[in-house]
Amino acid sequence: MKRYLFNTRAYAYVAVFVALLFLPRFLGAYHLMMFESGLAFAIMAMAHNLLLRYGGLLSFGHGAYFACGAYGVGLLARYYPDHFSFELAILCALALSLAISVLFGFLVVRHTRIFFSILTLALSMLIFAILVKAYNFTGGSDGIRVEIPTFFGYEFDMRRIQFLVGPYYYILLGVFTAATLTLLAIVNSPFGKALQATRDNELRAEMIGAQVKKTRWYAFVISGLFAGLAGAVWSFVNGHITPEISDWVFSGEIVYMVLLGGFMVFEGPIVGALVFTYLKLYAISSTEYWMLIIGSTLVILVLLLPGGITGGFRSLFLRLKR
């Protein structure tokens, strides 16, 4: 049974991956770029769900780590434009988000439930304040422009749009695939099981010898790292970064993506992030009251489909199988 499930999942992954490889043939430049943002958000949402689904911890400040990643790239672009390569930019992004999530994680894992959520929110606003106020260093609310990077020594001599719909799509797809497989491996690893154990029963986890706070801290750092990675790959797509991505509104959108896609299924956040990207796009382009659409979707979701899109499909599938 389990083997069978694993195989179907593996086949589905391969099928989706192949389909994604050919996607640029079917999507226009604009939609492909939207899809790229969606993929970056998907990494972000999976990182968030590592804490929510597997750690039982709802972070309301994940924008901060996303911003760390994006600013890791941005600051490199701003201060060392001669060394602005993709690989170095990713390293800077990971280093910055690692440093911040190690520090913040150490503080927040002392608490769970609403206290955890509020603490993450408060700390993310600290990052927001720094990004806005340290104008000379970060460019303040004007943000930083992100140019086309070199890629392992190779220079892309093309316009931004060509870069994005061409080579960058495959780079991003590679990063996305690697991130998905790594996170999937982590949730099934002994560490992932220990994390789920701390979620289910803190007392028992401690009494089988797991170190609860340490486990949560590690999970927080891993989540922060992937959030940073997402921010980094997103910054190239957007071409410009501003402190808004560390604002609580964006952190709220991350939670929204995860809930929309369904947090009980590992792949749920991916679906959520992609659907949200398009939902927001169409909502904004169709009415100035777009927030109303987003908000009412959330209400409908919570009332009718608490398991999100993937949760809905799963229960439908289970009902049909019976």
Partner 1 sequence: MLEVSNLVKSFGKFMVINGAEFTIQENEIVGLLGPNGAGKTTLVNLISGHLFPDSGAIMLSGRNITKAPPYQRIKLGIARNFQITQLFEELIVLDNVRNCLLSLQNKLNRFFKPASAYKEATEEALEILDTFNLGRFAGELAANLSEGDKKILDTAMAFALRSKFLLLDEPTSGVATADKFKVMDTIIQAIKDRGTATMIIEHDMDIVSDYCQKVMVLSEGRILAQGEPQAVMENQLVQETLFGVSDE
Residues lying near partner 1 in the complex (CB under 8 A)? 1-2, 182, 185-186, 188-194, 196-197, 199-201, 203-211, 215, 218
Spatial distance between the Cα atoms of 163 and 167, rounded to a whole number of angstroms: 6
Toward partner 1, which CB reaches closer, 2 or 25? 2
The count of C-alpha atoms lying within 13 angstroms of the C-alpha of 196, restricted to the half-sphere facing its C-beta, is 12
Whole-angstrom distance, CA of residue 46 vs CA of residue 187: 11
Q: Which is nearer to partner 1, 201 or 286 (CB)?
A: 201
Q: How far is the CB of 195 from partner 1 (least distance, A)?
A: 9
For the CB of residue 218, give the shortest distance to partner 1 in the complex, in Å: 7
Q: How far is the CB of 50 from partner 1 (least distance, A)?
A: 12
- The nearest distance, CB 222 to partner 1, in angstroms, is 8
Q: Which is nearer to partner 1, 83 or 204 (CB)?
A: 204
Between 7 and 286, CB nearer to partner 1 = 7
- Number of helical H runs and strand E runs in the chain: 16, 2
Residue nearer to partner 1 on the CB measure, 6 or 317: 6
C-alpha torsion angle, residues 244, 245, 247, 251 (rounded to 10) = 150
Query: Taking the mean position of all CA atoms in its chain, how far away is CA 164?
Result: 19
Q: How far is the CB of 107 from partner 1 (least distance, A)?
A: 21
- Write the DSSP assignment of 87-103 as a string of letters: HHHHHHHHHHHHHHHHH
- In 3D space, the residue among 224, 231, 237, 223 whose CA is nearest the CA of residue 71 turns out to be 231
CB of 209 to partner 1, least distance (A): 4
Contact 31, 278 (CB under 8 A): no
Nearer to partner 1, 133 or 204 (CB): 204
Angle between helices 308-321 and 248-261 (to 10 degrees): 10
Which residue matches tokens 């956040």?
269
Instruction: In angstroms, give the least distance from the CB of 165 to partner 1.
Output: 33
Can you tell me which residue has the tokens 């007392």? 203
